[in-house]
Amino acid sequence: MLLMSARLDALVAQAGWGSRRTVGKLIRSAAVTVDGVICRDRARQVMETSAIAVHGRALATIPRVVLVHKSAGYSCSRDRREAPLVFDLLPEIWRSMEPAGRLDRFTTGLLIFSRDGSLLHRLIHPKRHLPKRYRVGYDGRMADDAIQRCAEGFLLEGDERPTLPAQLSLDGPGQATLILHEGRFHQVKRMCAALGAQVTSLHRDRIGALDLPGDLPIGACRPASDADIEALLTIPEEDS
């Protein structure tokens, strides 16, 4: 995996030691060490694997990527008026990270947070068509040609172009799985409504080739492993 680097003052500030200005003073006063050596250069590029300490205390680090099992009722906004927010599910030191896409307030499942702008871009860029799998609970009756219409793509009300081909499977009464390769506003709900069904529950359990980890409880988060990140960026063969 390509290792990341960042400015020393940015890393120390993100760890809660104050503003960039305050942190700059700390660094100039010889309070900060990198791999055991005092560093007075606030602009030094530091590798993510470096050991940083302030006044001898190891710096709490921010992972490159974090996996979150989103609970229902949490907004992906940063507006406190919309609380509770998904950022509340993260330790305070991680809350500067940005989500790779959103889930609406009542949708549960896998969310990705990262401090790596290039990786976020790869995850959300529409030209990559990274698949996302949703488990859908619904009321009503899906149209007889629902599977075919999803596979071919169809025009949603208010949109100027048809949906990309998607994979719909009907798993039982009121239960379906939908794999999308794009992320339009409330797309699953709008597609199901156009096909004759009203979504009653929605859960995302896969992004790329990464399944929501079975050991990640709802409302919990954890750093992603290298294998997790590789899977995130992989388009499964059956979806390619």
Q: Domain 65-126+209-239, what fold?
A: Alpha-Beta Plaits (3.30.70)
Q: What percent of the chain has pLDDT over 90?
A: 74
40 vs 17, more confident = 40
- Residues 121-159 pLDDT 10s: 999 988 889 999 999 999 999 999 999 999 999 999 999
The pLDDT confidence band at residue 238, using thresholds 50, 70 and 90, is low
Q: What's the confidence (pLDDT) of residue 1?
A: 41
Query: Around Cβ 1, how many Cβ atoms within 10 Å?
Result: 7
- Residues 25-52 pLDDT 10s: 999 999 999 999 999 999 999 886 788 9
Across the chain, mean pLDDT equals 92
Q: What percent of the chain has pLDDT over 70?
A: 97
Q: What's the confidence (pLDDT) of residue 80?
A: 95
CA-based nearest residue to 131, from 185, 212, 224, 209: 209
CA-based nearest residue to 2, from 45, 43, 48: 48
ω into residue 213 within 30 of 0, thus cis? no
CA-based nearest residue to 190, from 164, 155, 161, 151: 155
Q: What's the confidence (pLDDT) of residue 239?
A: 56
- Residues 72-105 pLDDT 10s: 999 999 999 999 999 999 988 788 889 999 999 9
Whether 110 shows a pLDDT value over 50: the answer reads yes
Q: What's the confidence (pLDDT) of residue 5?
A: 73
Answer for the pair 87, 78: CB distance below 8 angstroms, yes or no. yes
Q: What's the confidence (pLDDT) of residue 13?
A: 82
Q: What's the confidence (pLDDT) of residue 2?
A: 44
Q: Whole-angstrom Cα distance, residue 12 to residue 24?
A: 9
- CATH (residue range 132-207): 3.30.70.1560
Tokens of 107: 């949708």
Q: Domain 5-58, what fold?
A: 3.10.290
In 3-state terms the chain splits into helix, strand, coil percentages (rounded to 5) of 25, 30, 45
Answer for the pair 14, 93: CB distance below 8 angstroms, yes or no. yes
Of 109-123, 187-201, 207-221, the least confident: 109-123
Positions marked active-site: 104
**Same fold for the pair 65-126+209-239 and 132-207:** yes
Domain boundaries, the chain: 5-58, 65-126+209-239, 132-207
Q: What is the mean pLDDT of residues 212-234?
A: 94
Backbone angles phi, psi at 80, to 5 degrees: -60, -20
Q: What is the mean pLDDT of residues 168-185?
A: 96
Q: What is the mean pLDDT of residues 57-61?
A: 80
Torsion of CA 108, 113, 119, 123, to 10 degrees: 10
The pLDDT confidence band at residue 240, using thresholds 50, 70 and 90, is very low
